[in-house]
């Protein structure tokens, strides 16, 4: 272990002894508070990522889990540097931006070029190279709110694939309107991708007010130029970890009920909604169920590097490939801290009768029965693809994209009452499945 890492760990272990938290309905909140205040932002692969792993191990132990361990995996580390964007004459002003995760930086002197605006990724793909060549592409795709955050999926393509499509047509850089629903002047980060054989151009998001501002400038003067500077770092491969803890089943300990969240977060907020809330909910759920001696084993998995592309989940699936048939169920909490409003399943047809019994217990919390098309959550979707039955306690995501992936994802955005409702729902679902012998695959 490198010296600086040991120093940090020593300092951390010395100064923040995990407080003993009472096993009550506020436990989920106390956990997310502890994680976001004491560790704060925890970008996968960073020094803070290591602190979050130690934090998780300490708290699992103090909550009385029977087993606690970490599982390492390799990942490509990316680190944000400074970023600035200025509009040239005649407007001479700065816009608020953030680098997209994984983006290369600009040359030292930056990139200065005229901008060309498209309303969607599809419009960009359909453009002539002559419109795009040597320009900075701006995709100005707006997001509309809904409870499922469904629009996100339609808009996020510009973030993920925009740089590749723009580079194919000869663009020098990509800017996107933030994939967020808030009119606050925060730019919204998230992972982007490159493609083998296509030039890697810098990619960044500007805030919604800045997207409005830039489009108004372009309507006044289509010849306006932008100067973009970014110095992100790509230091290469590092080790990160999934942290795992179990309450051993009292009757069928080899049958695993997996409940999960992801431990990593983007670096600009403190990762309270994404996904500190989920971490608090699933840790608290298992800790509170321990005293009931569940029949099956409850395994809590805190995945590493979800944000970089489900890297921890893929490592988990690979490592546990031979034991996945013993995973009787999996679910993840990763959509903020809004109230649960629907119980979706992804299991065998025969098991749906049992699922409806669970929903009847959830109904007093205002939770309806949903379709049998649940993914189980981003990380858990990897397990579902390998046949593990799943469910999703769907959270109200109306405001989720106001905050997530921005500096504004902080503890004060969590409503403790809504978080208690989440914990109650997770207790009901997890208890029912852990004490049942129903085969959810059938």
- Give CA separation, 28 vs 80, 189, 337, in Å: 30, 26, 11
- 187 scored as a contact of a copy of itself (CB under 8 A): no
- 253 scored as a contact of a copy of itself (CB under 8 A): no
Choose, by CB under 8 A, the member of 11, 198, 363, 385 that binds a copy of itself. Answer: 11
Q: What is the nearest approach in angstroms of a copy of itself to the Cβ of residue 212?
A: 6
Among 20-28, 133-141, 213-221, 362-370, which window interacts with a copy of itself (CB under 8 A)?
213-221
Among 90-98, 142-150, 307-315, 330-338, which window interacts with a copy of itself (CB under 8 A)?
90-98
Q: Provide CB contacts within 8 A for 125, sequence distance 6+.
A: 165
Q: What is the nearest approach in angstroms of a copy of itself to the Cβ of residue 3?
A: 15
Choose, by CB under 8 A, the member of 110, 157, 202, 269 that binds a copy of itself. Answer: 269
Residue matched to tokens 């489900």: 310
Burial 78-98 (b: 16+ CB within 10 A, else e): bebeebebbbbeebeeebbbb
- 138 scored as a contact of a copy of itself (CB under 8 A): no
- 48 scored as a contact of a copy of itself (CB under 8 A): yes
- 213 scored as a contact of a copy of itself (CB under 8 A): yes
Among 170-178, 235-243, 401-409, 419-427, which window interacts with a copy of itself (CB under 8 A)?
401-409
- For a copy of itself, the closer of residues 47 and 146 by Cβ is 47
- 417 scored as a contact of a copy of itself (CB under 8 A): no
- 273 scored as a contact of a copy of itself (CB under 8 A): no
Tokens of 315: 């490592």
Q: What is the nearest approach in angstroms of a copy of itself to the Cβ of residue 12?
A: 5
Choose, by CB under 8 A, the member of 47, 144, 195, 292 that binds a copy of itself. Answer: 47
- 344 scored as a contact of a copy of itself (CB under 8 A): no
Among 231-239, 283-291, 337-345, 411-419, which window interacts with a copy of itself (CB under 8 A)?
411-419
What strands, in cross-sheet order, belong to the sheet with 203-206? 93-95, 83-87, 225-230, 111-118, 136-139, 173-177, 203-206, 97-99
Binders of a copy of itself among residues 141 to 170 (CB under 8 A) are none
- 389 scored as a contact of a copy of itself (CB under 8 A): no
Give how many residues touch a copy of itself by CB under 8 A. 44
Q: Provide CB contacts within 8 A for 184, sequence distance 6+.
A: 207, 208, 209, 402, 406, 408
- For a copy of itself, the closer of residues 4 and 108 by Cβ is 4
CA distance 310 to 291: 32
CA distance 139 to 169: 14
Tokens of 433: 């499945």
Tokens of 410: 């902080």
Please state whether 149 falls in left (phi above 0), alpha (psi between -120 and 50) or beta: left
Choose, by CB under 8 A, the member of 148, 185, 314, 441 that binds a copy of itself. Answer: 185
Choose, by CB under 8 A, the member of 23, 76, 111, 212 that binds a copy of itself. Answer: 212
Whether 196 is a known active-site residue: answer no
Among 289-297, 339-347, 366-374, 405-413, which window interacts with a copy of itself (CB under 8 A)?
405-413
End-to-end CA distance of the chain: 47
- Give CA separation, 306 vs 55, 133, 342, in Å: 18, 34, 24
* CB-facing half-sphere around the CA of 55: CA atoms within 13 A: 28
Choose, by CB under 8 A, the member of 28, 41, 226, 274 that binds a copy of itself. Answer: 41
Catalytic residue among 306, 307, 332, 424: 306
- Please give the torsion angle defined by the CA atoms of residues 368, 371, 377 and 381, in that order, rounded to the nearest 10 degrees: 160
DSSP state letter for 198: S
Choose, by CB under 8 A, the member of 26, 71, 91, 398 that binds a copy of itself. Answer: 91
- Planar angle of CA 213, 214, 216, nearest 5 degrees: 65
CA distance 160 to 115: 20
Choose among 433, 360, 357, 431: nearest CA to 390: 433
Choose, by CB under 8 A, the member of 100, 136, 206, 208 that binds a copy of itself. Answer: 208
Q: DSSP strand E in 80-223: where?
A: 83-87, 93-95, 97-99, 111-118, 136-139, 173-177, 203-206
Among 59-67, 208-216, 346-354, 433-441, which window interacts with a copy of itself (CB under 8 A)?
208-216
Positions that interact with a copy of itself (CB under 8 A): 8, 11-12, 14-16, 33, 36-41, 47-48, 51, 89-94, 96, 183-186, 208-209, 212-213, 216-217, 220-221, 269-270, 406-408, 410-413
By annotation, the residues acting in catalysis are 306
């Amino acid at each position: 272990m490198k010296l600086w890492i040991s120093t940090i760990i020593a300092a951390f272990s010395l100064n923040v002894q995990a407080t003993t938290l009472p096993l009550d309905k506020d436990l989920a909140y106390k956990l997310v508070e502890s994680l976001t205040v004491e560790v704060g932002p925890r970008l996968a692969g960073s020094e803070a990522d290591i602190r979050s792993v130690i934090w998780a191990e300490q708290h699992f132990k103090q909550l009385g889990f029977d087993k606690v361990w970490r599982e390492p995996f390799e990942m490509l580390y990316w680190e944000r540097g400074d970023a600035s964007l200025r509009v040239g004459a005649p407007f001479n002003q700065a816009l608020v931006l953030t680098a997209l995760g994984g983006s290369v930086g600009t040359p030292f002197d930056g990139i200065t070029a005229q901008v060309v605006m498209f309303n969607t990724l599809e419009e960009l793909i359909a453009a002539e190279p002559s419109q795009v060549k040597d320009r900075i592409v701006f995709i100005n795709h707006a997001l509309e709110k809904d409870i499922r955050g469904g629009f996100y999926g339609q808009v996020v393509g510009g973030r993920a694939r925009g740089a590749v499509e723009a580079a194919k047509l000869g663009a020098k850089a990509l800017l996107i309107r933030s994939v967020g629903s808030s009119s606050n002047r925060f730019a919204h980060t998230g992972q982007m991708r490159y493609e083998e054989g296509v030039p890697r151009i810098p990619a960044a998001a500007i805030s919604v007010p800045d997207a409005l501002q830039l489009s108004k400038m372009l309507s006044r003067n289509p010849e306006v130029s932008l100067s973009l500077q970014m110095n992100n770092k790509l230091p290469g491969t590092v080790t990160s970890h999934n942290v795992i803890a179990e309450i051993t089943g009292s009757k069928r300990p080899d049958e695993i009920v997996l409940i999960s969240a992801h431990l990593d977060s983007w670096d600009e907020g403190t990762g309270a909604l994404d996904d500190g809330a989920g971490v608090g909910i699933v840790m608290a759920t298992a800790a509170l169920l321990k005293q009931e001696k569940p029949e099956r084993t409850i395994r809590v998995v805190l995945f590493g590097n979800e944000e970089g592309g489900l890297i921890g989940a893929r490592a988990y699936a690979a490592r546990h490939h031979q034991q996945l048939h013993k995973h009787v169920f999996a679910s993840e909490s990763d959509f903020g801290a809004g109230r649960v409003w629907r119980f979706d399943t992804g299991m065998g047809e025969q098991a749906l009768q049992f699922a409806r019994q669970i929903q009847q217990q959830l109904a007093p919390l205002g939770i309806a029965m949903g379709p049998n098309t649940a993914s189980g959550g981003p990380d858990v979707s990897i397990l579902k693809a390998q046949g593990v039955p799943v469910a999703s306690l769907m959270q109200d995501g109306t405001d989720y994209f106001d905050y997530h992936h921005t500096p504004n994802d902080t503890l004060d955005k969590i409503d403790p009452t809504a978080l208690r409702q989440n914990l109650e729902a997770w207790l009901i679902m997890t208890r029912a499945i852990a004490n049942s012998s129903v085969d959810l695959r059938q």
